[in-house]
Structure 1
């Protein structure tokens, strides 16, 4: 019998560890991630190249976990285990072990991360401690793009003031979620948050819904009168969604309520003082409605003390995979399933236009979760319309005038079009008559 052993070289060993189902992660003695395997895509929605080189403070600032284990390891110089929940909803059991140099100082921290752990699992060790996880945190918003980081920075400032705010963005971009987050970080967080869709209010009932009425105010009125939404939101926050749909006749009374900080319910003889932070939201250009006399300019300026414009999802592609991964984990938990995105699926999710924005992405992921029984979500599992739509950027971005820029744009379009028809590196290589290695590099290059 041949008992010859094959000793693994470093590259082969790294390749094998890279394919492990469990996450393997290594930090150096400067709190910097120096290695992570492909499991990070399932846990965080990012590939290794996106994470390696980042410092722990970046992850902690953006709350990638509900509780971080590394500070305990560096401080106490011993192994720790912890149950965590990631920013995209993955539930993990993490064991972090310090590796020491000759001076007994931490040189590296090696982490083994498993998706789920049984409640009766016992982890023991002479120098190992168990850290209980904090209360589970469900992120109000999830983002990685510079565009959303700028929006969130503004919200941190505006949210802590009583100033009125106007949020502008296409349908499905998350305007309501932003308004709720703004309320959550304000001094009003323990007070009511009331949301009303102005488009859903019957024109003849707008004033009674917003400002209420007293007993006997009109025929058919409730015997006890009605508390309006302004009064219900007193000392809290009132979100006026789709403010552009508010009838012109009601806009004057809304303006008066904002200016005077009081309302007059229908049929009442004495005004009611109110203290309400107003957040308005719209998917339309109010300045154009002002020009066509459909919206009052003075009301616009009262609402628009601070304006936040949320870019559509197609313009912040860095947010697509983290959001998709979060929704996938969310619906896997809800429906008792387990999925992950294959490497061939991700470029397709990134190249699709997502005209319905985050709302459309959420619906697509829920449908996939319900319909797909396979563990790995492959391109053929995606809705057909994702394959039929060319990258939206091509209709928005002028073709470069420089030779190098034009060649790169042509290369990008050819790669995207080929990948939509042949969603694999081998298929692209054959279609474009290039090597598979080059196809892989080009797919990775243009996936964001």
Structure 2
């Protein structure tokens, strides 16, 4: 083996070595963007380096790739930290994040060293094992609105009955969380809750994931075989998320499992008996899928003993204040802040469209917490898509039914001036903020504020 050119000033040989390290090495620039990650990311997040490089930290937060992160704290405090994490595929990580500075003392990069449990490498002290700090708690679901109270009533009623159930609703409405809640209030709570996103697994692998395989069942199979998720979930609950994406071949085998409570792993001769409650979730109309020949009608009726529809956030606006406060408390604790939110900002959040539903709201609150400099979150800190689109509709729709056009415009003008003066406190700053002359700003403040 040739010696490494350690005394050379050409360090190009180092990059392939770093790329092949067992530990994950991930580098962020000074604004949450990933500029490098090595091959270990595939083991941790089921993503290739090409999938991650060039993307924002927040892209992966939105996908819940890990349960917490130290990156915003390192940016804020400009010093190294270590943290324990768990990824969405269940990998437990220990991460050390170190800020890198230029000659002027400006933070330019954050480099992270990420280690998981060893795989295929002998361990010198094999008696050591990781112990979870606490058991998983029953998920808390906000249900102030009438529609969500109805959802919770149905969920409670079927929790004691082992029937299959389909959870329907738009993306981000909380179908997975409700499935977990249903599992943890049922008699199956002491057994596993397993969730599989059917859209995230290649068609060629979906059956081996669900039903497992015997050793040597096919080229590339693990020498010891593999348990399927049905066997892993035995006694508990299996959630098949995005069930509409399940291939027809797997649908036929799933129907057999539901009917017979047994199945044959790939390459096996002896059936495996299972006792699993099956929940399915989808954001598509399965009846349309049936009409188009993409979903089996017999499987639909087997799964759809009970259907629970989760309304979009715009149909349950009464729940938004409590959701906002819960997310704010969570991210304050997670990132070490104590931020509060004004009534004005809360009103704007309650009147937003939220096409991404709860997932989008959660993402917005986290982004505001980690990026705003003020301890008080006001309208100015909200994304422009929310504040700009809501202001006019909000103030125009809250005027009295008989108001004229001129009076509505005047009310809207008053709201803008009052909000700007409350935030900036002087006619000069209000004028600069709104793009007015100071004389006009002074007149408007005198008209609407004093």
The TM-score by the shorter chain falls in which range?
A: 0.5 to 0.7
Which residue matches 2:387?
387
Q: TM-score, normalised by structure 2?
A: 0.59
Which residue matches 1:357?
357
- Kept in 2, the 8 Å contact 1:237–1:278? The answer is yes
* Whole-angstrom distance in 2 between the partners of 1:146 and 1:408: 31
Cα distance, 1:436–1:310 mapped onto 2, change above 3 Å? farther
List per-residue Cα deviations over 1:12-60 (Å, max 9, x = no partner). xxxxxxxxxxxxxxxxxxxxxxxxxxxxxxxxxxxxxxxxxxxxxxxxx
Does residue 1:424 correspond to 2:419, yes or no?
yes
Does residue 1:322 correspond to 2:325, yes or no?
no
For the residue of structure 2 that corresponds to 1:281, the secondary structure is strand
* Whole-angstrom distance in 2 between the partners of 1:350 and 1:416: 20
How many residues align structurally? 292
Deviation at 1:218, TM superposition (A): 1.7
For the residue of structure 1 that corresponds to 2:199, the secondary structure is helix
* Whole-angstrom distance in 1 between the partners of 2:136 and 2:266: 45
For the residue of structure 2 that corresponds to 1:200, the secondary structure is coil
Which residue matches 1:345?
345
- Kept in 2, the 8 Å contact 1:348–1:386? The answer is yes
- Kept in 2, the 8 Å contact 1:353–1:391? The answer is no
- Kept in 1, the 8 Å contact 2:341–2:376? The answer is yes
* Whole-angstrom distance in 2 between the partners of 1:415 and 1:244: 51
* Whole-angstrom distance in 2 between the partners of 1:412 and 1:298: 60
Deviation at 1:412, TM superposition (A): 13
For the residue of structure 1 that corresponds to 2:204, the secondary structure is helix
- Kept in 1, the 8 Å contact 2:417–2:448? The answer is no
* Whole-angstrom distance in 2 between the partners of 1:208 and 1:412: 66
Deviation at 1:152, TM superposition (A): 0.6
Cα distance, 1:415–1:272 mapped onto 2, change above 3 Å? farther
Deviation at 1:338, TM superposition (A): 1.2
Cα distance, 1:255–1:407 mapped onto 2, change above 3 Å? farther
Which residue matches 1:373?
373
* Whole-angstrom distance in 1 between the partners of 2:409 and 2:268: 68
- Kept in 1, the 8 Å contact 2:348–2:390? The answer is no
For the residue of structure 2 that corresponds to 1:238, the secondary structure is strand
Cα distance, 1:234–1:136 mapped onto 2, change above 3 Å? closer
Does residue 1:187 correspond to 2:182, yes or no?
no
Gaps of 5+ in 1: 1-134, 438-448
- Kept in 1, the 8 Å contact 2:139–2:177? The answer is no
Q: TM-score, normalised by structure 1?
A: 0.59
The 5 Å alignment of 1:47-446 reads: 139-390=139-390, 407=402, 424=419
Gaps of 5+ in 2: 1-134, 423-442
The 5 Å alignment of 1:14-25 reads: none
- Kept in 2, the 8 Å contact 1:351–1:391? The answer is no
- Kept in 2, the 8 Å contact 1:143–1:322? The answer is no
List per-residue Cα deviations over 1:367-386 (Å, max 9, x = no partner). 11112232221111111111
Deviation at 1:163, TM superposition (A): 0.3
List per-residue Cα deviations over 1:68-115 (Å, max 9, x = no partner). xxxxxxxxxxxxxxxxxxxxxxxxxxxxxxxxxxxxxxxxxxxxxxxx
List per-residue Cα deviations over 1:312-333 (Å, max 9, x = no partner). 1111101111101111111111
Deviation at 1:228, TM superposition (A): 0.5
- Kept in 2, the 8 Å contact 1:387–1:421? The answer is no
Deviation at 1:391, TM superposition (A): 8.8
* Whole-angstrom distance in 2 between the partners of 1:409 and 1:299: 57
Cα distance, 1:416–1:333 mapped onto 2, change above 3 Å? farther
* Whole-angstrom distance in 1 between the partners of 2:417 and 2:149: 34
* Whole-angstrom distance in 2 between the partners of 1:383 and 1:412: 28
Cα distance, 1:409–1:263 mapped onto 2, change above 3 Å? farther
* Whole-angstrom distance in 2 between the partners of 1:286 and 1:423: 50
For the residue of structure 2 that corresponds to 1:322, the secondary structure is helix
Bigger relative contact order, structure 1 or 2, given CA contacts below 8 A and separation 6+? 1
